[in-house]
Structure 1
Amino acid sequence: MGHDIRTYGGWRRRHGIGLLGMDTTATFLALGAALLLVLVAAIVPVALIYLLPPIALAGGFGLVRVGGVPVGRLVVARCRWRWGVLRGRNRYRAGVVIDHPRAFQLPGVLAPLTLLSAEDGYGGRYGIVWDRRTGLLTATLRVVPASTWLADRSDADSWVAAWGGWLAALGHMPAVRWVTVTIDTAPEPGSALADAVHRAVVPTAPEQARAIMNELVRAAPAAAADVDTRVSVTFDPKASAASPKDLFEAVADLGRTLDGLASRLGGCGVSVLGRATAAEIAGTVRTAFDPHSRGEVNRLLTGPRAEEVLGWCDAGPVAATEHTGHYEHDGGVSVSWAWHEPPRQNVRSDILARLVAPGPFPKRITLQYRALPATTASRVLQQEVNAAAFRAQFRRRTGRDETARDSWDAARARQAAAEEAMGAGVCLVSMYATVTVTSPEQLRRAIAHVEASADASKIRLRRLWGSQAAGFATTLPCGICPPELSRRLKH
């Protein structure tokens, strides 16, 4: 007897009115170049000798693809990378012994950030990462997810539905720019268990009992894992309806928003532990840059003076060097990927289980959601449907047959528009993965482990060549969004 397995619609890559794999802008440029050639051929045919070579070269750069990316974009990225290396922008050395306001600045895209500590209104405090360049504020909720493997199918369905409703509600909150969900896993260093056993064992305990407990502490790290799940909310005070006049009012507005989001998050299959403190955020960044410090940081966070001994100045690395395919920092080497292609199928609720499961190396898997405003979501989806219809009409006019992928994409576009009309939200979703090793000899094995886990989830990851530092920072609770960084560079 077969079992009925609940599946969900999945994801769809956003497409404009592009032809031959090009985006909308490139398509209109290509059509303009073709029209120019026709006009020149009709008026001054001799000029084609001079125009055809550069146009053919530009067309090759735009149409020929390597790994799904146009060659022209790869060439531009490589040139920018070489220029940055020549200017020393891929290297960082902390000024730890100088008295300077920016002595403890973090490297790369983390440089404009600073850490604030605010009251939560319930007698406690929580940490806020403040981007001094853009004014964005990022706070983090610590959660513990329930396993779908041990839950009833109806419970898992209700969790997925509640999560969809939670994301849909973001479309009515223009001040929330994006939400970053990160599952941070690492082999347990044994410090937490060792400290707990050390406090529990009394000197008068029998020798055999102490020997058993010591053996347990010695053997446990090989099978234990440290798992931390975070939901970071990036807030834009400029888009808030309250129109805060200063940073204090903006933080208060953020606190009210977090209360509402945390209360609804409890129905999505997670237990909300509370807001991450400033020390916890600094400790997370510190252990990411220096995996050897995980045990020490965990010990400090459980102490009574965590906020005093663990601050933003302790979070960054002493030294960091970005290479094309990896990122060296303090006691570790990291490799980061981005989501290149999601599963082209209906997915189950545990589709990401293999990818986010603890492994032999520290890794962070991040899903970033940028909700489209409810007022523009229907217009965007209708544009997607119109673009799919335009491509279908173009194929018919040129005598090309419709492929199975084209048919699937058009059906998904219509399905998304119908679901939005029924009240569903629309989010731009991206995924990032980072794995860290403490020895360069382990790097190849760690890369193979992550890519094999992604393949088991039917997800294609693409190495962030030349953007390893940005990918590394995206998986931290600091509110980094690569598409937003790219948009700033273009402007």
Structure 2
Amino acid sequence: MGLLGMDTTSTFVALGVAMLLVLIAATVPHVLIYLLPPTLIGGALGLIRVGGVPLVRLLLARCRWRWGVLRGHNRYRAGVVIDHPRAFQLPGVLAPLTLLSAEDGYGGRYGIVWDRRTGLLTATLRVVPASTWLADRTDADTWVAAWGGWLAALGHMPAVRWVTVTIDTAPEPGSTLADAVDRAVVATAPAPARAIMSELVRTAPAAAADVDTRVSITFDPRASTAGPKDLFEAVAELGRILDGLASRLGGCGVSVRGRASAAEIAGTVRTAFDPHARGEVNRLLSGANAEDALTWCDAGPIAATEHTDRYEHDGGVSVSWAWHEPPRQNVRSDILARLVAPGPFPKRVTLQYRALPAAAASRVLQQEVNAAAFRAQFRRRTGRDETARDSWDSARARQAAVEEAMGAGVCLVSMYATVTVTEPEQLRRAVAHVEASADAAKIRLRRLWGSQAAGFATTLPCGICPPEVSRRLIH
């Protein structure tokens, strides 16, 4: 309900300052000579916006960044030969995380990222989505409706804090096919058969795409109705929740491959920090002792440096964006196809869903309807005409309230994207490629100036949520 583009809190602060100035002018008017200059400067800093952000927030962020650089908080160096169990601790917001391995109840094991500071647990499901291009429109609509129902069910699970869906794509130089054939061919095979397989590998396309889709679920034991008393009970409760969520994902157009193991999670983090290690990590994970091949100590970088516009780490330079504005149009099921499609550079696109509790969803949507009515009344009182966007926002608010009353859920949705290059001179081309893909999807991405490390970590299967991290730092 803000005025002049301000939020509710800023609006009431501005009104309070205006009333205070009126009272001072009525009682001691000579004091206004000293109060008006700082008031005008403060109002200008709060009202002038750069890229939709108030100027005062940009100045505060810049001051905090400079203070952090002076204290060395933007640099990370891990010792290689150090007799210390925490020598390979991960940098930045990943520092309090550690990796656990738990039994899944079916004879296997899976990995859990444990935030030792907040107690949150994050497990990852590996899925394979079905292509909507080769499916009937009826099937695609059914999958979208089932996904909406899956998200709506999260509103009845207070222990599930957020769900992170990541599409990880990277160019594959062809080593995967060669390694698979080398493992399959035995020395006693006939010579003509071995020659045919070698010719197949040689004539196959040299470049392919490595695509991995993950659904990471962050669990808060303190909000669970079961009330787990320790970490073991919390892990057991998380396993039961994963079984229910994974079984319902099958109707959303994806095939669940299973839960990601601890080695797979560590390998994903390792390849993100060092793109050159992708082939080696794939070989280790496909080996006989894959569970013990990679640990959390192998996941972190040796060195990392955060700049305002990029993040330099082992063997690569990354740039991260956040979702600045969603599409102002009807969203189809294939609207993100170009953005998440494989490209010439390693890329991760993450959608994060924070479901509102079912009891609070109706209240939030009613506030949106009231805000639309307040803006309409304000326009009539001030003699302003209604714009097409105002009409659209008002209609969407009423439609969302109706859909929630019919059983739909309410989620706070955010998007993050990260692209990585191995050569610094390729960075501008990679940035242009991602931004052009986002424009084709009618999505406005905003580079995370001064928060590149946090954006980079958000696209990993580690349960990082930037709004929660920022709120935690403020408190």
Q: TM-score range by the shorter chain?
A: over 0.9
1:169-248 map, 5 Å: 169-201=153-185, 204-206=190-192, 209=196, 212-216=199-203, 220-222=205-207, 224-248=208-232
**1:109-135 Cα deviation digits (max 9, x unpaired):** 000000000000000000000000000
Alpha carbons 1:136, 1:237 under 8 Å: kept: yes
TM-score, normalising length: structure 1: 0.94
**1:149-174 Cα deviation digits (max 9, x unpaired):** 00011100000000000000000000
Alpha carbons 2:123, 2:218 under 8 Å: kept: yes
Counterpart-to-counterpart distance in 1, 2:169 and 2:263: 19
**1:160-195 Cα deviation digits (max 9, x unpaired):** 000000000000000000000000000013221111
| Most deviating of 248-257 and 412-421 | 412-421
Please state if 1:465 is matched with 2:426. Answer: no
Q: Alignment partner for residue 298 of structure 1, among 267, 277, 282?
A: 282
Alpha carbons 1:191, 1:299 under 8 Å: kept: no
Counterpart in the other structure of 2:464: 480
DSSP 3-state at the match of 2:372: helix
Q: Alignment partner for residue 374 of structure 2, among 390, 395, 413?
A: 390
Counterpart in the other structure of 1:105: 89
- In 2 relative to 1, CA 211–103 (structure 1 residues): closer, same or farther, beyond 3 Å? closer
Counterpart-to-counterpart distance in 2, 1:294 and 1:221: 16
Give unpaired runs (5+ residues) of structure 1. Answer: 1-16
Please state if 1:262 is matched with 2:246. Answer: yes
1:146-157 map, 5 Å: 146-157=130-141
Alpha carbons 2:339, 2:437 under 8 Å: kept: yes
DSSP 3-state at the match of 1:117: strand
Alpha carbons 1:187, 1:221 under 8 Å: kept: no
DSSP 3-state at the match of 1:434: strand
DSSP 3-state at the match of 1:149: coil
Counterpart-to-counterpart distance in 2, 1:483 and 1:23: 17
1:18-97 map, 5 Å: 18-97=2-81
- In 2 relative to 1, CA 221–288 (structure 1 residues): closer, same or farther, beyond 3 Å? farther
Q: What is the CA distance between 1:81 and its match in structure 2?
A: 0.4
Counterpart in the other structure of 1:285: 269
Q: What is the CA distance between 1:62 and its match in structure 2?
A: 1.0
Q: Alignment partner for residue 361 of structure 1, among 322, 345, 350?
A: 345
Q: What is the CA distance between 1:345 and its match in structure 2?
A: 0.7
Alpha carbons 2:181, 2:197 under 8 Å: kept: no
Give unpaired runs (5+ residues) of structure 2. Answer: none
Alpha carbons 1:165, 1:424 under 8 Å: kept: yes
**1:346-367 Cα deviation digits (max 9, x unpaired):** 1111011010000000000000
**1:279-313 Cα deviation digits (max 9, x unpaired):** 00000000000000000000000011122120000
TM-score, normalising length: structure 2: 0.98
Q: What is the CA distance between 1:61 and its match in structure 2?
A: 1.1
Q: What is the CA distance between 1:59 and its match in structure 2?
A: 1.0
**1:10-35 Cα deviation digits (max 9, x unpaired):** xxxxxxx2111111111111111111
Counterpart in the other structure of 2:414: 430
Counterpart-to-counterpart distance in 2, 1:266 and 1:142: 12
Of all paired residues, the percent bearing the same amino acid is 86
Alpha carbons 2:275, 2:316 under 8 Å: kept: yes
Alpha carbons 1:20, 1:63 under 8 Å: kept: yes
Q: Give the counterpart letter for 1:126 in structure 2.
A: Y
Q: How many residues align?
A: 472
Q: What is the CA distance between 1:452 and its match in structure 2?
A: 0.3
Counterpart-to-counterpart distance in 2, 1:256 and 1:428: 25
Q: What is the CA distance between 1:212 and its match in structure 2?
A: 2.1
Counterpart in the other structure of 1:403: 387
Q: Give the counterpart letter for 2:159 in structure 1.
A: A
Q: Alignment partner for residue 308 of structure 2, among 324, 334, 342?
A: 324
Counterpart in the other structure of 2:299: 315
Q: Alignment partner for residue 343 of structure 1, among 327, 330, 345?
A: 327
DSSP 3-state at the match of 1:432: strand
Q: What is the CA distance between 1:96 and its match in structure 2?
A: 2.5
Q: What is the CA distance between 1:198 and its match in structure 2?
A: 1.8
Counterpart-to-counterpart distance in 2, 1:199 and 1:372: 49
Counterpart-to-counterpart distance in 1, 2:286 and 2:425: 33
Root-mean-square deviation (Å): 1.2
Q: Give the counterpart letter for 2:45 in structure 1.
A: F
Counterpart in the other structure of 1:119: 103
Alpha carbons 1:332, 1:437 under 8 Å: kept: yes
Q: Give the counterpart letter for 1:209 in structure 2.
A: I
Alpha carbons 1:140, 1:275 under 8 Å: kept: yes
**1:37-87 Cα deviation digits (max 9, x unpaired):** 211222222221111111111111111111111111111110000000000
Counterpart in the other structure of 1:379: 363
Alpha carbons 1:364, 1:434 under 8 Å: kept: yes
Counterpart-to-counterpart distance in 2, 1:80 and 1:468: 14
Counterpart-to-counterpart distance in 1, 2:183 and 2:239: 36
Q: Give the counterpart letter for 1:190 in structure 2.
A: G
